[in-house]
Structure 1
Amino acid sequence: MEAVAVAEQAVEEVVRSQYELERGKPVPSKNHSRLQQRIGVELAIHYGDQYDTYSELSLEAPNPSMVPDLCLFPVEPSNWREDEVRVSAVPLTVIEIVSPSQTDTELTEKSKAYFAAGVKSYWLVQPVLRTVFVLLPNGDELVFHNDMLTDPTNGVSIDLKKVFR
C-alpha cells in the first residue's frame, strides 16, 4: 500500500511540474479556480458586448510568453474556422489570482513585463484577504476590498461582494 501511495505522489509531482513549466505558474487551487470562474462570469455578463474575456490564454508578449489566469481584449467577431495557440495581440487587462504557493512579489514582477508589452492594467487578486489590487503602468495602484472594483483604464466595474461571496 505504501509503495502505491509513493508512486501516486511521484506521478502527481511530475504532472504538477509539467503544468508549472508549461504555464510558468503553479497548479491552481479550489479557491483560485472558483475566483477565476466568478470574475470571468461577471466580466462576461456585464461587459461581453465590449470585451472578450479569455481564461488561460497563451500570450506571445511579453517574452518569454506567459499564460495569465484571465485577460481582457476588445470584443472581436468569433472565427471558429481558425484558431491561435499563442496570441500575438496584447490584452488591455491581465488578471492574476495568487495561488497558495505564489507570492505577491512574484506576481508584481510579472506586471512589469506585461506593462512593457503594452498592457493597460494588471489585477492582482489576493483570495486570502478578499482584495484586488489594480496596478497601473505609471506605478499607481488601486486597492479594492468588499466593494465595487472600478478599473479606470477600461471602465470595468465589478462587485467584489459577489465575487468573494
Structure 2
Amino acid sequence: MLKIQEIRELIKLVDQSSIDEFTFEHDGSKIKMKKHNDNTGSVMKHVNQEVQQAPAAVQETVQQAPTAVAAPVAVQAEAPKSVEAASTENLHKITSPMVGTFYAAPSPDTENYVKVGDRVNTNKVVCIVEAMKLFNEIEAEVNGEIVEILVKNGQLVEYGQPLFLVKPE
C-alpha cells in the first residue's frame, strides 16, 4: 500500500513527464492518473469506484487523503500549495544513498545518533543504512537543526528516500 506522500510524488512525476495516462497496480489496489482530461468528474467517479473495490486499509487511506490526490494531475498542478509543502520548502532533506535498512543508533543498546531538536554539522553521522551486511554511516550534509525524523528504526528505505528534515543555519 502506498503512503500519501508517495502518491503525491507519483502525481508530481506524472505531471512533469510527457505521458498522458498512468496506471499503478499493487497488492489488489489500483491508482490511475490521466493528464489533460476535460471530464474530471468521470475520472473522480472512476477512482472512487476503484477505491470501493480495494481492500479496507486502502479505502481508509484514500478516503482520508486530500481531494487533490484523487483528482487528475492537471487539477493538482493548478491547486495552491498545501500548508505542509510550504512549511517544508526551506528544509533540507537528508536522503538515503541506497536501498537498505535504517538504523538510528550504532547498536541496539546505545542512544540514537540524533533526535529532533539536535544541532548537526556537515560531518555529523545521523544514522546507518545497512545493505548486504555493510553498515554505511550517513552524514548530515548540512549545518542545522533536525526538525523531523521521517523513518523508524529498522525500517527498509529506498534509494533517494528522505530520512530527516533539517532546518539549515
Query: TM-score scaled to structure 1, two decimals?
Result: 0.26
Q: Flag the structure with more relative contact order, 1 or 2, with Cα contacts below 8 A and sequence separation at least 6.
A: 2
Larger radius of gyration: 2
In terms of fraction of residues, the more strand-rich structure is 2
In terms of fraction of residues, the more helix-rich structure is 1
Query: TM-score scaled to structure 2, two decimals?
Result: 0.25
